[in-house]
A and B are shown apart, each in its own frame.
Chain A
Amino acid sequence: MSWLQLDKLELTEGDIRIIDAITLKVGAGRTVILGPNGAGKSTLLRLMHGLLRPSAGKVLWPQALTQGMVFQRPVMLRTTVLANVAYGLTLQGIGTEERRQRALSALARVGLADFAARPARRLSGGEQQRVALARVWALEPQVLFLDEPTASLDPASSREVERIIREIAGTGTRIVMTTHNLGQARRIAEEVIYLEAGRMLEQSPATTFFKQPQTAAARCFLQEEIP
């Protein structure tokens, strides 16, 4: 049952085809997008989430689903951790008390309940990313997009963030993630979409992709990438 469909999706900037006629259906609970640098992974994610408008083609949602996104560099407002986590809820007009409760419980789930009153920007990169996850999690989105969420983090923080992502997926939130970390991809993905130069070359279940990639390009990629 696919919940997101891309139909001949294209994004052109000047002469450059950043995304070149991609048609695919996303049905898995945990989808990971892989590809070399410049393949268009981040762009594709943004097109799916609606942050970018395609030059041609369509992004189709058979059932309207609530979405959230976490970026490679966490964006923290100049206020407390709790206020940051509550920000999305404030936008939705949720009342003060309910907002506080939901934000605190989201913070607890990412293990930062004690940090509630701290200035968010004074936290480490890993801690900030966890706050970003708490913030989006508090909104309980049905789909969560993640753009290289651990690329800027040290290994320990990376693992912690990954654990949180898997927990979020475990609650039933659909995940679409890009990453350079093959080990991470192996641990998380149910399905892999492989991009190269703006084109989708392969879409397969994770087990298949990592053991026996269908395309030569994917095979090459897997061999060269640092696991």
Chain B
Amino acid sequence: MHEMTTSLALAGELLARGDSQLLAIVLLSLRVSLSATLLACLIGLPLGALLAVGRFPGRRTLIVLTNGLMGLPPVVVGLLVYLLLSRAGPFGQFGLLFTPAAMVIAQTILIVPIVAALARQVIEDAWREYREQLRSLGASRIRSARTLLWDGRFSLTTAGLAGFGRAVAEVGAVMIVGGNIDGVTRVMTTTIALETSKGDLPLALALGLILISVVLLINIAAFLLRQWAERRWG
């Protein structure tokens, strides 16, 4: 409890000071995880939509697989990406290991299943409502997927958010592929891990509170967006 109050005070002080190191760490966390979320949406939203409206061999298997991969352990993804990007690995020549790009890649892989699975659910529900009318108007399956993706754009922000939440909060993947290098690949979660290792628990906790606040703020913004959208577009 005492640690909690110390941490709250510390968090407040760090924020008030506008500590430049802290700012850099927070900004990097946001850039890495937002990039990963954008990429994961580019891949996962169409994938989810196709899984929802498509009819092709292996569809059921792919759905089960996508759902299952939602639970990918971040540390395992980190290990796999590390092996791929290591100089001794197939993509070593790009020199991506221990850079933010590697972190973006790892997090993207981690959250594509989440985005795809949630998108599939949203689109599937919409498909049930729209299916006959869209077919009657002459929309192909692929065209329908496009239409439903746009139509469901507000619900799909939930999918994107879920992905972002998972990405910004994980430490296993970015620790391994990023290396937690000071000033280069150090993000909020790896800093928390480091400060905990050094025994500086109040600082670690303070950073944790800041991380939670960031995530909360983004979730509130998205909630308000959905509220507005519901009222405006129905």
B-contact 0/1 string along A96-137, CB 8 Å cutoff: 000000000000000000000001111000000000100110
Residues in A with CB closer than 8 Å to B152 are 78
Residue in A46, A78, A132 whose CB lies within 8 Å of B151: A78
Give bound CA distance, A126 to B136, whole Å.
21
Are the CB atoms of A121 and B137 closer together than 8 Å?
no
Q: By the criterion CB–CB under 8 Å, are B132 and A121 in contact?
A: no
> Do residues B130 and A75 form an inter-chain contact, with CB atoms below 8 A?
yes
Q: What is the interface size of chain B, counting residues whose CB is below 8 A from a CB of the partner?
A: 19
The one of A71, A76, A119 that contacts B232, using a Cβ cutoff of 8 Å: A119
Does the CB pair A88–B234 fall under 8 Å? no
A51 touches B132 (CB 8 A): yes
In contact, B233 and A121 (Cβ under 8 angstroms)? yes
Residues facing A in B133-166 (CB within 8 A) are 133-139, 143, 147, 151-154
Nearest to A74 among chain B residues (CB) is B133
The residue in chain A whose Cβ has the minimal distance to the Cβ of B133 is A75
Contact A91 B233 (CB under 8 A): no
Q: Tell whether, in the assembled complex, residue B138 and residue A69 are in contact, meaning their CB atoms are under 8 Å apart.
A: no
Q: Is A77 an interface residue (CB 8 A)?
A: yes
| Given contact pairs A75-B130, A77-B147, A87 touches B137 in the complex (Cβ within 8 A) | yes
What residues on A are CB-neighbors of B154 within 8 Å? 78
Interface size bracket, A side: 20 to 34
Q: By the criterion CB–CB under 8 Å, are A78 and B233 in contact? A: yes
Report if B129 contacts A (CB, 8 A): yes
B137 contacts across to A, CB distance below 8 A = 68, 87-88, 91, 135-136, 139
Q: Say yes or no for A215: interface residue by CB 8 A criterion.
A: no
Given A49-B136, A78-B151; 4 other pairs, CB 8 A cutoff: A46-B132, A51-B136, A69-B132, A77-B151
Task: List 20 contacting pairs A-B, 8 Å CB cutoff, sorted by A.
Answer: A46-B132, A49-B136, A69-B132, A69-B133, A71-B132, A75-B132, A75-B134, A77-B130, A78-B151, A78-B152, A78-B233, A78-B234, A87-B137, A88-B137, A91-B137, A91-B139, A91-B143, A119-B232, A135-B137, A136-B137
